[in-house]
Amino acid sequence: MTSDKAEKKVKLVAAGSVAYDDLATPKGVREKSLGGSAVYFSTVASFFAPVGMVGVAGNDFEESDRDFLRSRKINLDGLALDKNGPTFRWKGEYGANFGDATTHSTCLNVFENFDPVLTEEYKNADFLFLANIHPALQIQIIKSVKNPKIIGLDTMNFWIDSEPDALREAISMTDILFVNRQEALQLSGEKTFAKSVETLLKMGAPRIVIKLGELGAMTATADSRFFVPAFPSKNLTDPTGAGDSFGGGFMGNLARTGDISEANIRRSMLYGSVMGSLTVEGFSIDVYKTLSPEKIEQRFEEIKKMISI
């Protein structure tokens, strides 16, 4: 297993789904496309800091996909291989506006019995991101880490509906809650964006990040607000993973710098926006097969100009 070891000590751990997606977008179709929240997040974060990935793949997991993750120096000690079935599979379709996907099928497969295991190295990581998985598993992971500087948590409409109590408990144990605009309204029970921000800030996470899709993202604490626009990608191809990529850029920059000041949180919002905009320019994680770090910095400067006065 030495070949699965990253070269440097893991600073950031991400737990989430590993998936194969069958996609149709206005730009084409793609079958068995590598996806899942842990994959998107870790791939993106690997451009910033040593990242360890917690997830489960099935008996159909391609060696070439594992090779890609290795090539990004992602620590795969937390990636379980379950030979009892295939990898989590999602089939979906995006309409002409690239908006919310229509789900055709969701097969949990080995993800149904996912039991996340963290190595000692992972437990000592300073930054933890809990992508969209069952809140009970999120809590289990939070309890197993030792003394993280920042715990980020993402979730989705399904858990907001089906596991409200566990989700509330998980949120209360985290530092940053990541949701999109719809989830913000649903989770808060409010009708307006402004009210949802107020209500979410009372749920126990001292900071919230609301992803606004093609309009960007905002973050709020009790006494600060910050907005970042989305970069206007001219080659929108596949929106899958944009939100997890935002998280990967955001948490990746925190882990790279170790700096959790308000100023660096704001820079991290820009990196989140940068990475979200890059991911959607190709299918799956294709963009990251050839991406140069210079392009990230270049786009960071472009977005910075969009809010400079």
For residue 273, the minimal CB distance to a second copy (Å) is 11
Q: Which 138-157 residues touch a second copy, going by CB under 8 A?
A: none
Angle made by CA atoms 290, 291, 297, in degrees to the nearest 5: 165
Q: DSSP code of 156?
A: -
Among 120, 143, 165, 191, binds a second copy (CB under 8 A): 191
Among 73, 104, 146, 304, contact with a second copy (rule: CB under 8 A) = 304
Among 71, 113, 144, 192, binds a second copy (CB under 8 A): 192
Interface with a second copy, residue 29, by CB under 8 A:
no
- Contact by Cβ (8 Å): 276, 204: no
Helix, coil or strand: residue 56: strand
| Pair 93, 102: CB distance under 8 Å | yes
- Residues 199-238, one symbol each (x = binds a second copy by CB under 8 A, - = not), give -------------x-xxx-x-----xxxx-xx-xxx-x--
Q: How far is the CB of 114 from a second copy (least distance, A)?
A: 34
CB of 236 to a second copy, least distance (A): 7
Q: Alpha-carbon distance 203 to 99, whole Å?
A: 28
User: Under rule CB under 8 A, which residues in 59-118 are in contact with a second copy?
Assistant: 95-98
| Nearer of residues 116 and 239 to a second copy, judged by Cβ | 239
Q: Which residues contact 205 (CB under 8 A, 6 or more apart)?
A: 153, 171, 172, 174, 175, 176, 177
Listed residue (71, 117, 92) closest to 20, CA to CA: 92
Q: Which of 186, 132, 184 minimizes the C-alpha distance to 156?
A: 132
Sites of contact with a second copy (CB under 8 A): 95-98, 191-194, 197-198, 212, 214-216, 218, 224-227, 229-230, 232-234, 236, 263, 266-267, 270, 304-309
